[in-house]
Amino acid sequence: MIKLYEGTRQIPHKTFVFSGGEVQVRIEEVGYYYPASSVRIEAHIVKSDDFFELALLVDAIRRTFGYTTLIDLVMPYLPYARQDRAMTTGESLALKVFCDLINGLKFRTVEVWDVHSDVALALLDRVVNKPVEQIIQPEVLGDCILVAPDAGSLKKVSKVAQMFGRRMVRADKTRSVKDGSITGTVVYSESVGYSDFLIVDDICDGGRTFIELAKELRKLTTGKINLYVTHGIFSKGFVELNTVIDNIYCAVPFPGTRCNSLNVIGGGSW
C-alpha cells in the first residue's frame, strides 16, 4: 500500500495492471495540487509490484510537479533487511540490491522504523531510522519486565528499558543447522512471582521464537506474558500465539492482518 501526501493532504493516485502484467500509475486531480515543492510518500512494500508502483509514482511526481520537487519516503518496514549477508556461494545479497534500487530513486530522506539490521543504515542514502523507543507506547509497557528474546535484540530492548525505567531480562535460543528450527530456549531470570513480562522485538513472522520463549517465561511468573513487535507479518496466524501470549501489540501490521487479540499502536495501521 502506497500513499502520496503534500503536507497533510493526500494526493490520490490510481494504480492498475495491464494484461501483460505491467504496473502503471497515474496521479489524479493534478491541477488541484500543482505545483508542489515537496511531497511525502508513505509505502508499505511487501511484494515486487509494490516497489514498481513506488518507482513509477516517483517518476510521475517529477513529470507532473517538476524535477526539482523534493520527495521524502516513509517506509516503516524495510524489505530484505533480514538477508543482510550472502550466506552461501551463489546467493545474492538481497538487502544491498533493494537498497541500491531505493537509492536510485534519489529521495531527499528515507525513513524506516526499527530496522532489523544496522547494515541497512550503511547501505541506504539519507536514511533516518525511527528506533523502537520512539515507537512503543508507555501504556504497552505498563509495569512489565521487558524481555530481549535473543542476543540480536539485546541492545534495542536495553534502550527501551533505560528510557522508561523498566527491568529487563535476556533470553537466548538455539537453532538446528539443518533446517533452522528452534531446538532450545533459555531465559536468564529467576521466578518473578506475579509480575508481567513483555517480549520486545522488531519482527514477528511465523512466531515460533515467541511461542517457545513464552513457554519458558510461564515457568517464571503467574502474571501475564505479552508481546510487542514493530512489524507484524504473522504468516502462521494467531491460533498458537494466542495459546501462550496474553496480549499482542504491533506498530505496523502487514496489510490485511486481522485478529481480535492484535492491538495496533503507534499509528502504523495500513
Among the listed ranges 77-86, 135-144, 243-252, which one has the minimum average pLDDT value?
Answer: 77-86
Q: What is the mean pLDDT of residues 99-120?
A: 95
Backbone angles phi, psi at 247, to 5 degrees: -140, 135
How far apart are alpha carbons 73 and 111 in whole angstroms? 6
How far apart are alpha carbons 183 and 175 in whole angstroms? 5
Pairing of strands 109-113, 70-74: parallel
- pLDDT classification of 269: cutoffs 50, 70, 90: very low
Inter-CA distances, 91 with 52, 84, 114, Å:
23, 12, 26
- Burial (CB count within 10 angstroms: exposed 0-12, middle 13-18, buried 19+), residue 190: exposed
How far apart are alpha carbons 52 and 13 in whole angstroms? 14
Torsion, Cα 153 73 163 185, to 10 degrees, reads -10
pLDDT at 180 over 70: no
Residues 6+ apart with CB under 8 A from 231: 76, 77, 113, 114, 202, 203, 204, 250, 251, 252, 254
The residues that bridge with 17 in the sheet, in sequence order, are 23
pLDDT at 270 over 70: no
Among the listed ranges 16-25, 114-123, 258-267, which one has the minimum average pLDDT value?
Answer: 258-267
2-132 and 133-264 agree in CATH topology: yes
Query: Tell me, what's the pLDDT at 244?
Result: 95
Q: Which residues of 237-264 are buried (b: 16+ CB within 10 A; e: fewer)?
A: ebeebeebbebbbbbbbbeebebeebbb
Query: pTM of this prediction?
Result: 0.90
Give the pLDDT confidence of 5-53 residue by residue, as tens digits.
998 889 999 999 999 999 999 998 776 666 678 999 999 998 889 999 9
pLDDT at 255 over 60: yes
Domain 133-264: top CATH class = alpha beta
How far apart are alpha carbons 212 and 179 in whole angstroms? 17
The residues that bridge with 128 in the sheet, in sequence order, are 111
Given a contact cutoff of 8 angstroms between Cβ atoms, the answer to whether 51 and 13 are in contact is no
Look at residues 118, 86, 120, 117 and name the one whose alpha carbon lies nearest to residue 100.
120
Query: Tell me, what's the pLDDT at 163?
Result: 94
Query: Tell me, what's the pLDDT at 122?
Result: 95
pLDDT at 192 over 80: yes
Given a contact cutoff of 8 angstroms between Cβ atoms, the answer to whether 56 and 63 are in contact is no
pLDDT at 144 over 80: yes
Backbone angles phi, psi at 176, to 5 degrees: -70, 135
Pairing of strands 9-11, 2-6: antiparallel
Q: Give the domain ranges of the chain.
A: 2-132, 133-264
Three cell numbers, residue 208 = 515460533
Give the pLDDT confidence of 51-91 residue by residue, as tens digits.
999 999 999 999 998 888 999 999 999 999 988 777 777 88
For domain 2-132, give the CATH number: 3.40.50.2020
